[in-house]
Structures are given as structure tokens and as C-alpha cells.
Chains A and B, each alone.
Chain A
């Protein structure tokens, strides 16, 4: 378990390494400068201005042109497939094959998207709802479980604490797909395979979430406050639900968002667990359409349109997420 300790101590803990780790990390260390942002937009902007000021005088024009063109080329690379998806979602199957992919041809966006949504008795809407349910419920439960476990590991002393934490940390390094297959065999034995539970139960376990919550709780929940509440006669459960959860909120939002994305993107687990297409999340549904498209060409168009629709909510979430990471950093540093 030494290595797991190394991971905790050397790589992740306190180092603003990974995004969420960074959130927790800056909660622990008030000295860290938050990301530059337009000055004056928030309280605490003074620190931002200081961070911005470190770039000093404008770099020479030549540098700025080179930088801007490199960034533009990269943006083209990242956005072109998305652009293709937008254009293609307005095309019929035959136009998908017959016309130039990077330009519109006889666009009927609403008509085609309507067909995606109504095909096969509206199975797509059902998949969408399933995905939302798996990701929403799963992430919420995962957040609460991680919060309780991380809080316990941070705020109580008991025998075996470090041992338990190390085992949980090791769980971070185990490939999820290596677990999914034996989990399926196990779940079939106990009759859980091919049910909603088969996807939900594994989704609520997030070792990484526990790790984050422990780090964050250790820094953001002062022992003196807990002691005071105890002296006032509050029970441990009440202290956790009123004080602990509130103080840990920034970490909890991070855990929720990450777990949501993780569950939403997970393909292997539902693929292994589910055979009933009524239980499918979107990803699985779309691959099944894609698989039939050879025989039923209109499914090409439905696959593209369905992919377009499925990408929208997460794109919005990505915008929120990367914005949240920045503002969240500031809040964390003010709090600690």
C-alpha cells in the first residue's frame, strides 16, 4: 500500500493536480492564486488582477500572431467533428452519402430530429430518460456516500483508518472494465443482471469521490466547530448533515459533476449488464442503431441525429464545469 500512499502524498494530495483534486487542494491552501478572469466581476477580484498582472507588458506582436494561429489551428481540430455533426444532423441518409459533409444540403433539422424522437415508438426518448436517471440518481447517491465516507475518514480517529483509506485509493487505479465483467457474472448469479440496478449499483461507488471528500473535509471542516456542536448536545449524524455537508459543498458539487459525466459516458458496464433495449442508456441505443444501419439505411440519419441530440446536454455541462472550476477555485481559497 506504500505506492497508494505515494499517490496520495506525492501526486494528488495537496497538489492541484487533477481538476477536482485541485478544487480540494485550493481549499486547503489559501495561498494559491486563482485563475485569471475579467477583473472586477467578483469579490476577490483583486487576487485575480494580481494573477493577471504577472504577464507584465504585452508580448511582441510576432509572438501574439504565432500564438493566435497555433490556437486557431487547434480549435479547428477540436471543433470540426462537432461542426460536421451539426451539419449532418440536418441531412437525410442519402444526402449523408451523396453530398459534401462540411456543407448544408436541403436542411430539415426539425423534421429529422422529430423522426429521431418518434422512431420505434419514441425509444430514443426512453434511452435519454434512462441515461438521465442513471447519471442523475447514480451521481447523487455516489456524492452522498462519498461525502459520508470521506467525512468519517477525515474527522474521526479509529483503528484501521489508514488501512481502509489505502484500500479505497487502490480502487482508483483498478480499471473499471476489468471489474465489469466479473461483476456481471456475480450479478447474474444473484439475479440482478439486466435490471436498472445492474447499472445503478456500481455507479454509486466512487473511490475517487471518497478521496476528494476526505481531503476536502480535512481542510474545510474545523475540528473546533464539531467540538462546539458536540458540547451543544448535537448528535453525530446531525452534525454531519447540518455542518459537515454544508462546509463540504464545493467538493460535493465537483464529485457530483464528475460522477455524472463518468456514468453518462460509461459504455462497457451497461453493454455488459443489459440485454433489454428498454433499459439502455443513449450510448448503447445509438450503437444498436448504428449496427442495423447496413440493413436499414435511414438509421444512419437517426444515428447522426441521435448523436447530435445526446451531445447537447453534456456540452452545456462542460461549459458550466470549466467555468465552475475557475470560480470554484476562488471560493475555496477564500473559505480556507
Chain B
């Protein structure tokens, strides 16, 4: 606190007083619901339960310092790390497919003649209004042999599909997520496309550019910020994958209790009653999410800058 502390002017003081009145309610709840849980998770993840009874059975339990052993336990748990690998694989495939799909639809709608555009846009966006759980229940019925008309139709042409088998179920989940969020991402991209000044297209057309060239060389580069944003949000969503595998779990033997990191942490806390390891897993999940999304933003940020200078 050395160095002359700058004194607040009177308007600044008044302003700070009023601002704190407006900010405090939000900040208090933000502290409670964002900062405190992170702190609490960090704290819990560094403790473990020790039983004092004979052979460590029964008797009193008390919490003791565990250092990083919970983290070590989580990282040595093959199921947990496999779950991480699984969502990363999921993200590496599903996010590009979904974003490409959404971009394609946005460009098509942008180029289509106006009559049916409203209908299609609404139809594509509709699944966003179906909560993840309901979407999973819904698609679950469409995957299960016996109920699913899709399986029945495939079977009638001699194609034996198993949507819930070991190899397929991850992609069946990817389909649910794609179904739900493509329309939302498409709408975000359309909003950005509409922000492009019309003269740009005019100029390109006068220069003789085809519709395809306009899309490729003008529209795509201009919606880049929206593409980055939707990708980051998809990334965060993917790491949190939970509702879909949880709902499909009773239908498929291929989904185990650690199928995704979130499912692992949930089961650790509520099935195995081991909240300290669950806390460590939650912290690991948050760290990976932040590293990946910041890393991605930095990567595209740098490339954007290179592009500008080049």
C-alpha cells in the first residue's frame, strides 16, 4: 500500500457508492454460487475420510489432510480417464460435424428464395426447445429395438442396426446433441450473416462471383467470430456431457458409471459416497474446460492476428 494512494474525487465516491448498491446483490450471489463452490471443491478435494474403528471399519470417521492423493486416485482410475478420452473424441468429431452442418444450413437459408425460409428456420430451431433429458428419452425410444420404427424399418430391408451397441452408442449420443443444437448454432450464424453489409455481395456479383464463391470467400470469413463462439460453447457443453448418457444408461450395457467425467463424478458422490474424490474430479473437469476453451480462443485469436498482418 505504499505510494500515494489516489484519493477519490467526490463524484467518484458518489459513483462508487451507487455502483456498489447495484452490484452487491449480484456479486453476493455470484460469490455464493460460483466462487464459493470452486473454493469448497478445492478444499474438499484435498481431504479424505479416515475411519478410526478397528480395521478401519465403523467407529468414528474424521476428515484428514490428503494432499493430492484424491487427484492421483482420479487420474489413476482407468474409467475416469477413459471417460475424459471419450468426451474429447466425441468433441473432436461431433463439434466439427455440427458446426459444419449448422454453417451449411445457415448459408443455404441465406441464399434460398424467401418463401419457405421461415418454415425451415423454425423447423431447424425447434429441437433447441426440447430439453436434453427429453431429447434423450425421445431418441432412446427411437434407438431401442422393439419400439423404434427406425430399427424396424432398417430390419425390414435386411439391415441389422444396433444403435446402443459398444461401438455405436457414443455416436448415437452425438446424434442427440447434434439434433438439439444445430438449429441454435445455425440461428447464431444467420444473425451474423445478416449483419454483413449488402453492398459487399453486390460488389462481388458485379465482379462475376458465383453464389458458391460468395459463400466461400465472403460469407465464411465474415462469420468467423460467430463460428469461434459457437465452437467454444459447444466445447464447454461437450465436456459436461451428462444427461444423454445418464438417460440412455438403462438401455445400453455399453454405458458404464464412468462413461463421461461428469457421470463419474456424480456416481462417485452419490453411489460410492465418496465426495472427496468427486470434488477432485469436478475440479479436474473445470480445469480442463478452462484450459481447452482459453487455449482454443488463444489459438484462433493468434491466427486471426496473423491473418490481419499478412
Binding site for B on A (CB under 8 A): 3, 6-7, 10-12, 15-19, 21-22, 25-26, 31-36, 38, 50-56, 58-59, 63-64, 67-68, 70-71, 74-75, 77-79, 81-82, 84-85, 88, 96-97, 100-102, 145-146, 148-149, 151-153, 156-159, 161, 164, 168, 170-171, 173-179, 181-186, 201-202, 204-205, 207, 210, 236-237, 240, 261, 264-265, 267-268, 271-272, 283-284, 286-287, 290-291, 294, 303-304, 307, 310-311, 314-315, 317-319, 322, 325, 329
B159 within 8 Å of A (CB atoms): no
- Asked if A237 contacts B21 (CB within 8 A), the reply is yes
- Asked if A33 contacts B198 (CB within 8 A), the reply is yes
Nearest residue, chain A, Cβ from B198:
A54
- Asked if B29 contacts A283 (CB within 8 A), the reply is no
Q: Which of B109, B132, B137, B283 contacts A307 (CB 8 A)?
A: B137
B89 within 8 Å of A (CB atoms): no
Segment at the interface with A among B48-56, B63-71, B235-243: B235-243
Nearest residue, chain B, Cβ from A102:
B149
Given A85-B138, A268-B262; A287-B247 close (CB under 8 Å): yes
B127 cross-chain contacts in A, Cβ below 8 A: 78, 81-82
Give the number of residues in B that approach A within 8 Å (Cβ atoms).
Answer: 116
Given A63-B211, A322-B122; A272-B266 close (CB under 8 Å): yes
B19 within 8 Å of A (CB atoms): yes
Given A78-B183, A148-B22, A318-B126; A3-B297 close (CB under 8 Å): yes
Interface pairs (14), CB distance under 8 Å: A10-B297, A11-B297, A35-B190, A70-B108, A79-B123, A173-B236, A173-B293, A181-B41, A182-B38, A182-B40, A183-B36, A183-B37, A205-B29, A272-B270
- Asked if B226 contacts A15 (CB within 8 A), the reply is yes
- Asked if B130 contacts A314 (CB within 8 A), the reply is yes
A4-B32 Cα distance, complex, nearest whole Å? 21
A268-B134 Cα distance, complex, nearest whole Å? 13
B205 within 8 Å of A (CB atoms): yes
B179 cross-chain contacts in A, Cβ below 8 A: 77-78, 81
Binding site for A on B (CB under 8 A): 8, 12, 15-16, 18-23, 25-27, 29-30, 32-34, 36-38, 40-41, 44, 104-105, 108-109, 111-114, 116-117, 119-135, 137-139, 141-142, 146-150, 152, 179, 182-184, 187-188, 190-192, 194-199, 201-202, 205, 211, 225-226, 228-230, 232-233, 236, 239-240, 242-243, 246-247, 250, 262, 265-266, 269-270, 275, 278-279, 282-283, 285-286, 289-290, 293-294, 297-298, 301, 304
